[in-house]
Structure formats: structure tokens, C-alpha cells
């Protein structure tokens, strides 16, 4: 079994030809390129160094080190950065609508993503030092001038975007994501809904206790009737015994036979039980009278909170209808909503009114000019958020490396893989985002682009990229990405690559 050393040359787009090992114990002839492709693919699929090392050892019978894996990832990341820069320069001039969003992986690690709305081409994926307006503005400024046909930028609700986007993207319309706008008021009505649910729970529990109290009172009354009947029968039996033995009812001189003693004790006991029952019933009746008043108060409070919840939800639904309205109905819906908000005394009505006044960019596309490129159901950042959701495991891995060459490499590899890989389902299952953006790559997938097995094979189409032109474009691609890397504090690291 051989051990790999981290000394493999990293020439851009050159295929290593030196075999790594002779036939392994599994009978597989493995080359350096095969191992590197395997390492990259496993790492992008979120396997740890230890898992990759064990996998290669089990399958290929090759012992590799953590340093070798790290060097392969960094080398592949550098190649991916070159390819990303080349592909970016070919497609970004055609983008008309882009989405911008940030996501946090943990408390302190923030990633910024930019994606083309139509093709889902991931134009930017970078780890930020912070979420400040200065940091985001600096990163976006590095790509703004290259988006020549850009007409619309869709962002989330970060307040800084309101002034940032118009200043960075000159003449471009800024749209507040409708989903984020809707979420703002879903969060606003949540405390109202919670208060209504608590009031309902309190009233429901009190109602159940009240019903239990009334049921208990009914049982006590039945027990009292039973005790009184038993007491009446016992008195009749005692009187009959006195009559048979010629004993006067209240006689003190008559002999106290065991039977007479038993009648006396039993009568005293039953009378005490009856008195206790009557006292209990009286107390429960008083409690029911008091509880009836409390129930009315609880019911009134519940209905008040319920109406506030229902009316608030109706106002938010009206706000959602305004967001979803086509341009020809937008003015009608806006006037209708303004009238409803003006009549409402709820707190959320004022919040919706102020929100619409302070954020006119939330309905920036409610015009005929944007009917084609951004209909109402298109006015969101669902694309970039969906990508963040898919990429979450890789972003978590990148977070663990901090701001280092490994994390930059992982993000570059992730972006290249996404742009060159068609989705698993849907209408574009046979088209990658790169193809949808207008570029047919010479390579079958991102691994062939990084480490081609044979430059004359593995071609998707007949139009093969000119490698000479790609190498000449390398310096330009690196220059385009330098700004973002400087912001991440990684200038020296990149230079060392």
C-alpha cells in the first residue's frame, strides 16, 4: 500500500499523466486524477477528511494523509475559481434580474449569495466578515459594473438595501422580496395569535372546570337524596322497633339494648353525613355563582382577542393580495387596502400603512413594464434561499475552516458544481444553470472541468472551449474576484496560491 504525498503539481487545466500507484489490492488501476476527482466530489458532498481517507483506503487500497486531501481541495478550489471567473465573464452580461440574500451559519458566520433569477446561475457566494452595509456594499460594488443588462434587483428586508442598491446599481429597479414583506407581518400577528390562543386555552380550561364543578354538584345532590332516603328508612325502622318493645320515642328510663344503641349511633352518623353534604352543596353553589361571573369575563376577553386575531389576519391577507395583484389591478387593490386600514383601529393597521409608505420598493414592479420579466409570483428571493437550503451542509463545513484557503476553495467548488450540474427534477432536468445562461461547456460535469480524464473525450457538445483562450482569460477572471477576497481578509492567502 502506497502513501500519497502532497506534492502533485497544480497546473491549470493540465491533466496529470504520472500514475499514482500500480494496480491496487482491489485490482483497480488508479491514477492521480481519479483520486483527486474522488476527493473533490466526496468533500463537496460534505464528507470529513477522516471519512474521505477511510473511503479511499477501503475502495482503492491507498493510504492518503489529511495534508494531501487539504492540498487537493485547495488546488481544485483554485481551478474552480479560474473556471468560475471565465464562465462569469461570459454570462453575467446577459442577466436582467438577480436575487441577493444573506444566510447565517451559526451566530457569527454570514454568507452572501447572488443568483440570476432566470437561469439560477450562482454568480457570487462569499463569506462576509459581518453583515454591515459597508461590507455588503463593497462586495456588490465589485460585480455591479459587469451586469450591463441588469434591470431588477430583488433583496430581502435588510434595511441597508433600501439606499444601498440604488447607489450601487445605477438605474436599476430595486424590489423588496414579497415573501419577506409578507413574513414581516406574519411575525407581527404572531403575538396577537398567541394571545388569542392563550385566552382560548384559559377560557377552555375554565369552562371545563366549570362543567366539572356543575357535574360534581349534581353528584353531591344525588348523594344527599340517597342519604336522606336512607335516613328516613332508618328512622322508620327505629320507630317500629320502639313500638314493638313499647319504648317511648324520647324515653330516658327505658333500657339501652344493643339494638337501641345501634339505631342511635347509626342515626347520628347518617345525620352528620347529610349535614356535611348540605354544607358542601351550599359551598359549591356559591362557587358556581362566583365562577359564572369569571366565565363571562374570560369569555369576553377571549372573544376580544379572537376578533383582534381574525381582523389582523384579514388585514395581512389584504396586504398579501396587494402584493400578488397584477399590475392592472394594483391601484384598485391599493385604494381598497388604504380604505380598510383607515377604518381599522388595530395596531397592525398603522404598521402596514407605515410599511407601505417607508418601503415603496415593495411594489416597484407593479407596472406594465415588468409584466414579462417579473410577474407577482416571481417577485421573491426563493431561488437564492432554495440554493442556501441545498448548500447548507457545505456551508457548515466551510464555516468550520473559518476564513481560510480551505473555506474559499469549498465555496468556489460548490459554485462551480451548482452551475455545471442540472437539477435532479423539474423542467430543466437536462440543462445546467450554465447552459440556461447561454454557455455550453466543453465538459460533462464540474469534475471533468477540474480534472479532465481525456481532453478528446467527455465532451457534451461539439463546440469545445479553446483552452488557450481560457488560459488567457485567467488573469481577467482573477482580477474580477480579487475585491471579494480582499474583503474577506484573504489577500495574502490567495497570493500564496
CATH topology of domain 183-354: Helix Hairpins (1.10.287)
Confidence (pLDDT) at 289: 92
H-helix or E-strand containing 194? helix 178-244
Tell me which residue of 317, 397, 330 sits closest to 363, measured CA to CA. 330
Distances (CA, A) of 159 to 131, 132, 156, 361, 366: 11, 10, 9, 12, 21
pTM score of the predicted model: 0.72
Question: What are the domain boundaries of the chain?
Answer: 79-177+380-438+466-496, 183-354
| pLDDT class of 72 with cuts at 50, 70, 90 | very high
Per residue in 160-183, pLDDT (tens digit) is 898 899 999 988 999 999 999 999
Confidence (pLDDT) at 280: 94
**CB-based contacts of 146, cutoff 8 Å, min separation 6:** 88, 89, 92, 93, 480
Confidence (pLDDT) at 399: 75
Q: Is the pLDDT of residue 207 over 50?
A: yes
Confidence (pLDDT) at 471: 38
Class of domain 79-177+380-438+466-496: alpha beta
Confidence (pLDDT) at 481: 40
Spatial contact of 214 and 288, defined as CB atoms under 8 Å apart: yes
Tell me which residue of 4, 1, 74 sits closest to 34, measured CA to CA. 4
Q: Is the pLDDT of residue 236 over 50?
A: yes
DSSP assignments along 228-270, one per residue: HHHHHHHHHHHHHHHHHTT--TT-SSS---HHHHHHHHHHHHH
Confidence (pLDDT) at 301: 94
Amino acid at each position: 500500500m502506497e502513501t500519497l504525498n502532497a506534492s502533485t503539481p497544480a497546473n491549470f487545466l493540465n491533466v496529470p499523466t504520472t500514475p499514482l500507484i500500480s494496480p491496487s489490492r482491489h485490482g483497480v488501476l488508479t491514477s492521480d486524477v481519479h483520486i483527486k476527482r474522488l476527493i473533490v466530489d466526496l468533500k463537496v458532498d460534505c464528507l470529513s477528511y477522516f471519512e474521505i481517507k477511510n473511503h479511499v483506503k477501503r475502495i482503492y487500497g491507498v493510504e492518503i494523509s489529511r495534508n494531501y486531501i487539504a492540498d487537493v481541495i485547495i488546488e481544485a478550489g483554485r481551478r474552480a475559481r479560474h473556471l468560475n471567473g471565465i464562465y462569469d465573464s461570459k454570462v453575467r452580461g446577459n442577466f436582467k434580474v438577480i436575487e441577493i440574500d444573506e444566510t447565517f451559519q451559526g451566530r457569527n458566520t454570514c454568507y452572501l449569495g447572488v443568483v440570476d433569477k432566470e437561469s439560477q446561475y450562482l454568480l457570487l457566494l462569499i463569506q462576509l466578515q459581518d453583515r454591515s452595509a459597508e461590507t455588503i456594499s463593497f462586495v456588490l460594488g465589485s460585480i455591479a459594473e459587469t451586469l450591463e443588462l441588469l434591470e431588477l434587483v430583488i433583496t430581502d428586508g435588510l434595511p441597508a438595501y433600501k439606499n444601498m442598491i440604488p447607489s450601487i446599481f445605477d438605474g436599476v429597479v430595486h424590489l423588496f422580496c414579497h415573501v419577506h414583506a409578507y413574513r414581516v407581518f406574519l411575525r407581527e400577528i404572531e403575538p396577537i395569535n398567541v394571545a388569542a390562543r392563550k385566552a382560548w386555552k384559559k377560557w377552555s380550561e375554565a369552562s371545563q372546570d366549570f362543567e366539572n364543578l356543575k357535574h360534581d354538584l349534581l353528584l353531591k345532590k344525588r348523594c344527599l337524596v340517597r342519604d336522606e332516603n336512607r335516613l328516613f328508612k332508618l328512622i322508620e325502622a327505629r320507630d317500629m322497633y320502639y313500638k314493638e318493645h313499647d319504648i317511648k320515642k324520647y324515653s330516658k328510663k327505658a333500657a339501652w339494648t344493643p339494638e337501641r344503641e345501634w339505631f342511635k349511633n347509626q342515626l347520628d352518623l347518617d345525620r352528620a353525613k347529610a349535614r356535611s353534604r348540605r354544607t358542601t352543596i351550599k359551598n359549591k353553589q356559591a362557587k358556581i355563582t362566583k365562577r359564572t361571573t369569571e366565565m363571562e369575563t374570560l369569555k369576553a376577553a377571549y372573544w376580544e382577542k379572537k376578533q383582534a386575531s381574525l381582523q389582523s389576519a384579514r388585514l395581512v391577507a389584504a396586504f398579501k393580495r396587494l402584493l400578488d395583484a397584477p399590475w392592472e389591478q394594483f391601484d384598485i387593490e391599493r385604494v381598497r387596502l388604504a380604505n380598510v386600514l383607515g377604518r381599522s383601529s388595530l395596531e397592525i393597521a398603522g404598521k402596514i400603512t407605515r410599511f407601505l409608505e417607508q418601503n415603496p420598493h415593495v411594489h416597484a414592479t407593479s407596472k406594465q413594464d415588468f409584466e414579462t420579466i417579473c410577474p407577482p409570483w416571481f417577485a421573491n428571493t426563493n431561488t437564492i434561499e432554495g440554493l442556501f437550503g441545498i448548500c447548507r451542509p457545505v456551508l457548515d463545513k466551510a464555516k468550520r475552516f473559518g476564513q481560510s484557503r480551505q473555506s474559499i476553495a469549498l465555496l468556489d467548488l460548490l459554485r462551480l458544481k451548482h452551475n455545471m450540474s442540472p437539477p435532479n427534477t423539474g423542467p430543466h432536468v437536462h440543462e445546467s444553470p450554465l447552459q440556461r445562461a447561454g454557455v455550453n461547456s466543453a465538459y460533462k460535469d464540474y469534475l471533468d472541468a477540474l480534472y479532465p480524464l481525456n481532453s478528446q473525450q467527455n465532451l457534451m457538445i461539439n463546440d469545445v472551449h479553446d483552452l488557450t483562450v481560457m488560459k488567457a482569460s485567467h488573469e481577467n477572471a482573477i482580477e474580477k474576484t480579487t475585491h471579494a477576497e480582499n474583503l474577506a481578509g484573504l489577500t495574502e492567502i490567495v497570493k500564496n496560491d
